[in-house]
Structure 1
């Protein structure tokens, strides 16, 4: 979900043509629509996601089934797996499922279903490669939506059924190919109390609307939540500072930020960013929750607040993470830094395991996200991508 707005003349400006749906991409050779087998697999996954007693063995078995289907119906991925010597006949553990570098989503159509038959195509923001945008094809959004809502409820709502929300991001109608726009629309639809609204429109940030919502929250005394891209909060805090405004939101209020700054605002160190949120909105750092996700995944990670950084990120039982050497795909030694690889069962239609370009270290309960790959690790990611493309295009 590294989705953000392309650079523009002002904060939150909507790029020309943003409301147009993305091109579907080339049709695959395999004529595979949402077959009964695919429907049954999705139904099983939806049931698995709702379990409270899921085991490691069940996760592994489902990952292997998803991998076998993707090997059969995703030609580019199949060629890569064969080149790696890893096929459904030889892979016996989910750790051994070949991980596709996330840049592969920019250069190839990774979909079991013909692209033009997919209900939605989420696209990356293009901040890392201006010449290409990654595309994640979804035949329908049942699994994605369930993954978001089932995970969001315990990790952000913290026992509340509804909370009044202000969203510092454009609407889904304004950015129909943004996974973050869809994510925030789901948050508003399922968890937003009456009076929740967007605070970004075609003309940019609605500062008057933001001030009004903050004033109403402080007078009413009910918890209030602000959600959006990290850079959106920078613009909001700057706008409020220009007006000499700050507030102390009621107890139970919280903030969710995601996506970083993407060149859309000034960069801020994490400690300074969360301190500024506290100064501006009166929300303690442990109630400032960061969501880590990406367009190439269908599941998100959260921390328990940012009283200390880097906070520990973790996900639900249907996603697992490893810290690997990007060239070998093997786990690094415990406590060492490596590249994060995620196995997301909700990625039923694309590839179940992706190799990111993010550096992390495994810790009890999850991982610490340390930033983007640089130096030898970045070179390793690039070489892994070259190897993937050479095999997938063969």
Structure 2
């Protein structure tokens, strides 16, 4: 069994005690197998010889996914996921070696968080993602629907009155602007998890997550709204309510000073989000995002994006 095959199988066994060793093994492999990442690390004078802690590892800025095919090793992609960015900013591309690995790890984490998919009827309201046709979120939901209860499918917000009246436990997952439109219809909601995937995609005015959830809770008459945190450049998702997310055991969020990429901040302090996603073994497990956030124990909070005037450190290398 190759290193990658063995590593994929072992991610489900990773815990707090083994996370460091697994991360260093992933770093050493990707340093040797990804030319772009190796060049980036060499520029920062970071090699397997002097990287001994998580905070020693260089995190690749997500902008690299817009201009390069990030691969560790030589292989053909079974799928290419693309971000929903505009043509002016460019779209990130994530080359996926084994889409089954993506699907299975996503299913594992969802079921660890919410229970078996077979217990849910899935109502997906994701029109903007469907229009693009190369979204990792759509690929994940397509896979989930195969295991869910009959009638699970994609809908427009005005099409769901009848299906909402079934007694099935439901997962209503939607892009924010579509859920807002649906909430204005004040449909009868029972026995449901409502999950927003973030972003107005230019369809409505952007708002804080607190305001979004407040409006959705009023419209749907529910006590809380769930959120999904995912990125094209990752293979793992975070789930949470009230603005705090949790990752699977093989992923972790750490917070950096936005002016110094190797100065990491303690719990409760706000800074740039770096993500270790060990499911990304075929590309790069160490991603520097453009999100602001803070960490509280095993949970992390996403506070928004920072603009180009805030970007320092590693981002200036692009």
Question: TM-score higher than 0.5 here?
Answer: yes
In structure 1, the partner of 2:281 is 348
Q: Relative to 1, partners in 2 of residues 1:375 and 1:137: Cα closer, same or farther, differing over 3 Å?
A: closer
**How far off is 1:271 after superposition?**
3.3
In structure 2, the partner of 1:295 is 232
SS in 2 for 1:260: coil
- Do the aligned partners of 2:176 and 2:198 also contact (CA within 8 Å) in 1? yes
In structure 1, the partner of 2:248 is 316
**How far off is 1:357 after superposition?**
0.7
**How far off is 1:354 after superposition?**
0.6
- Do the aligned partners of 2:157 and 2:179 also contact (CA within 8 Å) in 1? no
SS in 1 for 2:263: coil
Distance 2:144 2:9 in 1: 19
In structure 2, the partner of 1:232 is 178
- Do the aligned partners of 2:245 and 2:301 also contact (CA within 8 Å) in 1? yes
In structure 2, the partner of 1:196 is 152
- Do the aligned partners of 1:165 and 1:226 also contact (CA within 8 Å) in 2? yes
Distance 2:136 2:203 in 1: 18
In structure 1, the partner of 2:102 is 144
In structure 2, the partner of 1:134 is 92
- Do the aligned partners of 1:86 and 1:98 also contact (CA within 8 Å) in 2? yes
**How far off is 1:46 after superposition?**
2.4
Distance 1:93 1:272 in 2: 39
| 1:363 and 2:303 correspond | no
SS in 1 for 2:293: strand
- Do the aligned partners of 1:254 and 1:283 also contact (CA within 8 Å) in 2? no
- Do the aligned partners of 1:234 and 1:266 also contact (CA within 8 Å) in 2? no
Aligned residues: 317
In structure 2, the partner of 1:9 is none
**1:118 aligned residue (52, 65, 77):** 77
- Provide, for residues 234-277 of structure 1, a one-character-per-residue CA deviation record: whole Å limited to 9, x for no partner: 23334x3xxxxx23322x31111113213122334433322332
Q: Relative to 1, partners in 2 of residues 1:375 and 1:175: Cα closer, same or farther, differing over 3 Å?
A: closer
**How far off is 1:298 after superposition?**
0.7
- Do the aligned partners of 1:121 and 1:177 also contact (CA within 8 Å) in 2? yes
Q: Relative to 1, partners in 2 of residues 1:146 and 1:119: Cα closer, same or farther, differing over 3 Å?
A: same
The answer to which structure, 1 or 2, has the higher relative contact order (CA under 8 A, 6+ apart) is: 1
| 1:384 and 2:314 correspond | yes
In structure 2, the partner of 1:325 is 257
Distance 1:272 1:328 in 2: 31
| 1:42 and 2:1 correspond | no
Q: Relative to 1, partners in 2 of residues 1:140 and 1:224: Cα closer, same or farther, differing over 3 Å?
A: same
- Provide, for residues 292-320 of structure 1, a one-character-per-residue CA deviation record: whole Å limited to 9, x for no partner: 110011111111x33xxxx2211111001
Q: Relative to 1, partners in 2 of residues 1:160 and 1:347: Cα closer, same or farther, differing over 3 Å?
A: closer
In structure 1, the partner of 2:25 is 65
Provide structure 1 residue ranges, at least 5 long, that are not aligned to the other structure. Answer: 1-35, 200-204, 241-245, 390-394
Provide structure 2 residue ranges, at least 5 long, that are not aligned to the other structure. Answer: none
Larger radius of gyration: 1
TM-score under structure 2 length normalisation: 0.90
Distance 2:127 2:275 in 1: 28
Distance 1:105 1:175 in 2: 18
**How far off is 1:347 after superposition?**
0.7
In structure 2, the partner of 1:31 is none
- Do the aligned partners of 1:172 and 1:185 also contact (CA within 8 Å) in 2? no
